[in-house]
Structure 1
Amino acid sequence: MPHLTPPVNAAIVGYRMGATHAELIHLVDDLQVTAICDTDPERRDAARDQLGDITTYADVEEVAADAGIQLVVVVTPHSAHLPCALRCLRAGKHVVVEKPMALSIAECTAMIEAAQEAGVTLSVFHNRRWDGVFTTARQVIRDGYIGDVFHVETHFGGYRPPSRTWRGDKEISGGLFYDWGAHMVDWTLGLLEGRRMVSVSGRFQKRVWHEASNEDHVEAFIRFDDGAVAHVQVSQIAAAGKPRFYVLGTEGALVDNWAGHVDVSARVGSHTATFNVDYDESDWPAYYKGLADHLVNDAPNPVTPESARRVICVFELAERSSQDGGEQPVPHE
């Protein structure tokens, strides 16, 4: 597919969080930010101050019409991911979308189909696939210390009010799962790599923070084709903590308590050996290095849209289950 001549010219749509993307792109020789798009004139001014000689736009239509832009990075509120991505894909631009990819399975599929029709790359910025805690836990599993994984629990939470920004507005954000839940579900699926999801069920609760439309507590239960199961919980009414990862295997277990290391229990004969493994160093720039290699040298897409759609499948089906009851079959697996 792509074999672009470097440096690849990138535009960032949405500069509030987009500033972080600009910093990461700056670290990659084969990519350069040449344009910023934001509806807020103050953020456009900030982009010029921070990035120097760049073009600024107030409308994504201007980005789509700029023939010099080859890559567009969409870092808008979640409800704007679909229209911005579709407009740029259909204009022949390669597109990166911030996670979560979109608000629904159908929106994800529409993006994937638009990229295929245009013959361009669509990728999703699941940068926390390069977080040290995840890469460490995954390597322990790959190295066979705990045997075949059959049960995974992941948790993120605390007792605090929701954001007063658009992130607390379900119509724009998608709901509580669509913030840190994007990381937790993606990590869960990564710890159970190679398995196919069969069904999802869920429970969504609204009990305390009625000033915001997001849920207070959400959880998803995922069943896989080999019988493995996973439970993902995100809460803003959890007054007591839980491990971030609790993983059971046929020959041991792995637990992460946010402590800078994972705790491993491995069966050795009739005994259990316990030891700690320090987190790897996180490497967020690896995403854009991988993307550049893909666009210039046709290396693999660092995060395929199909893999990112799996996260949205869990969100949507868990909510549907909470409303209707019962397990929901998983499409596109």
Structure 2
Amino acid sequence: METINTALCSSGLSGIVFHAPFIDLHPGFKLAGSWERSKKLIQEHYPDVKSYPSLEALLADDQVILVVVNTPTYTHYDYTKQALLADKHVVVEKAFTTTVAEAEHLKELAQKQGKKLSVYHNRRWDSDFKTVKKIVKEGLLGDIVEAEFQLQKYKPTLSHKQHVEVPSPGAGTLNNLGPHLIDQALHLFGMPNAIFADIRITRLRSQVDDYFELILYYDKLRVKLKASFLVREPAPGYIIHGTKGSFLKSRADKQEEYLVAGMKPNTLDWYTEPESEYGLLHTEKDTKVIREKVKSSQGSYLGYYDAVYKSIVNNQPIAVTAEDGINVMRIIEAAIKSSNEQKVIALL
């Protein structure tokens, strides 16, 4: 089996939690190491890998085939560009970049260099979203007329991550959490015709947006995307209504929680939701009205890296393309314009 030596641009939370465990687990990847600036952490978790003193040193390593750009969003364009020019394939964290223009340029550069470029929209492999996708694709609700995806928490205190809370390109909840919801919506329903957005600051002392509500307009469908940090009692994370029925599903995937706790994704039941989190399906089937719980699909971010491997080694289509990342950026830019001007913005 061909091995893809992979290096991270950071060994912080993103690297240790979301990337390294799955790179290490997949038989087709080998973790080469990580670029580390001050704290040298990568070898505490993976003793046999390298700690690169600079990005230049990482990119100069001829053994490295794939680079994971998992640094703050405002660095994504520059670091991804450097990696592509160094003849590396690249996985870049969400949000792809800070502007549509930057994202489009990286896509063009990857094509010119003949390299694979993918955005890490790992939430497509959440157990809850995979369950929703299955219900929608099987047509169990008929024609979808309304959908609502929400990320709700009660977290009145601000994050300790300065790049998230200080006003700068790529900061704020729309750029941080928005890509998860936006990509899930686009993955299911495609690009909308127009968008309306309400983006606000709701928490004391917050300097960047910490609330948003987006309405995506399709021909016969409306999709609402919402995130808030002041919700003690959340509604279902997914609410979908169609011409035949409805599906309600909690946002219950705990892969992140388990990974932060140090658990490894190497069990056969990773990640399986408990029965208490099964979604509620209320629809018509074979002329009969049914109302029943639906067993959740199994989630695993390993699926993302397996798709990356097959793309690089077997030249299969990339599961999350640069164009997917560009479309998310188009929604974000249009949402900011809509909120500022308080009007619907056409996209198509």
**Structure 1 and Structure 2 fold alike (TM over 0.5):** yes
Give identity over the alignment, percent: 25
**Residue number among 122, 146, 168 corresponding to 2:117 in the alignment:** 122
CA distance in 2, matches of 1:208, 1:190: 31
Secondary structure at the residue paired with 1:171?
coil
Contact 2:76 2:92 in 1 (8 A): yes
Match of residue 24 from structure 2: 26
**Residue number among 263, 280, 287 corresponding to 1:263 in the alignment:** 280
CA distance in 1, matches of 2:63, 2:302: 24
Contact 1:153 1:246 in 2 (8 A): yes
CA distance in 1, matches of 2:134, 2:108: 33
| Alpha-carbon offset, residue 51 of structure 1 | 1.6
The reply on whether 1:162 has 2:166 as its aligned counterpart is: no
- The AA in structure 2 aligned to 1:267 is E
Q: Which runs of 4+ in 1 moved over 4 A?
A: 268-271
**Residue number among 158, 177, 182 corresponding to 1:180 in the alignment:** 177
**Residue number among 302, 324, 331 corresponding to 1:285 in the alignment:** 302
Match of residue 39 from structure 1: 37
Question: For residues 6 and 217 of structure 1, do their structure 2 counterparts lie closer, same or farther at Cα, with a shift above 3 Å needed?
Answer: same
- The AA in structure 1 aligned to 2:234 is G
Structure 1: gaps (5+ residues): none
| Alpha-carbon offset, residue 109 of structure 1 | 1.1
Contact 2:240 2:248 in 1 (8 A): yes
CA distance in 2, matches of 1:283, 1:167: 26
- The AA in structure 2 aligned to 1:310 is N
CA distance in 2, matches of 1:238, 1:35: 39
Contact 2:147 2:222 in 1 (8 A): yes
Question: For residues 60 and 329 of structure 1, do their structure 2 counterparts lie closer, same or farther at Cα, with a shift above 3 Å needed?
Answer: farther
- The AA in structure 1 aligned to 2:83 is C
Match of residue 216 from structure 1: 210
Match of residue 309 from structure 1: 326
Structure 2: gaps (5+ residues): 252-275
Match of residue 10 from structure 1: 6
CA distance in 2, matches of 1:268, 1:295: 42
Contact 1:78 1:172 in 2 (8 A): yes
CA distance in 1, matches of 2:43, 2:231: 42
After superposition, give the CA deviation of every residue in 1:16-55 in whole Å (9 maximum; x if it has no partner). 0212311110111121111311222x2x3x2123222322
Secondary structure at the residue paired with 2:324?
helix
Out of 311-320 and 127-136, give the one that drifted further.
311-320
- The AA in structure 2 aligned to 1:308 is G
Aligned alpha-carbon RMSD (Å) = 1.9
| Alpha-carbon offset, residue 172 of structure 1 | 5.2
**Residue number among 58, 71, 89 corresponding to 2:84 in the alignment:** 89
After superposition, give the CA deviation of every residue in 1:165-217 in whole Å (9 maximum; x if it has no partner). 1222241543112223222222222332xx4321112011124322x322132
After superposition, give the CA deviation of every residue in 1:81-102 in whole Å (9 maximum; x if it has no partner). 1111011011111000112212
The reply on whether 1:254 has 2:247 as its aligned counterpart is: yes
Secondary structure at the residue paired with 1:111?
helix
TM-score by length of 2: 0.86
Out of 47-56 and 127-136, give the one that drifted further.
47-56
- The AA in structure 1 aligned to 2:220 is G
CA distance in 2, matches of 1:294, 1:191: 22
After superposition, give the CA deviation of every residue in 1:288-329 in whole Å (9 maximum; x if it has no partner). 111111111112212111112222222221111110232223
Contact 2:172 2:210 in 1 (8 A): no
**Residue number among 127, 132, 147 corresponding to 1:132 in the alignment:** 127
- The AA in structure 2 aligned to 1:219 is E
- The AA in structure 2 aligned to 1:313 is R
CA distance in 2, matches of 1:19, 1:70: 19
- The AA in structure 2 aligned to 1:29 is P
Contact 2:174 2:210 in 1 (8 A): no
Match of residue 111 from structure 1: 106
Contact 2:73 2:95 in 1 (8 A): yes
Match of residue 76 from structure 1: 71
| Alpha-carbon offset, residue 64 of structure 1 | 2.2
Match of residue 62 from structure 1: 57
Match of residue 228 from structure 2: 235
CA distance in 1, matches of 2:286, 2:307: 41
Match of residue 97 from structure 2: 102
Match of residue 191 from structure 1: 188
TM-score by length of 1: 0.90
Number of paired residues?
320
CA distance in 1, matches of 2:10, 2:224: 33
Contact 1:96 1:122 in 2 (8 A): yes
After superposition, give the CA deviation of every residue in 1:116-165 in whole Å (9 maximum; x if it has no partner). 12111101111111111111111111111101112111111233223131
- The AA in structure 2 aligned to 1:280 is S
After superposition, give the CA deviation of every residue in 1:252-281 in whole Å (9 maximum; x if it has no partner). 111113451111111358763211112112
Contact 1:122 1:304 in 2 (8 A): yes
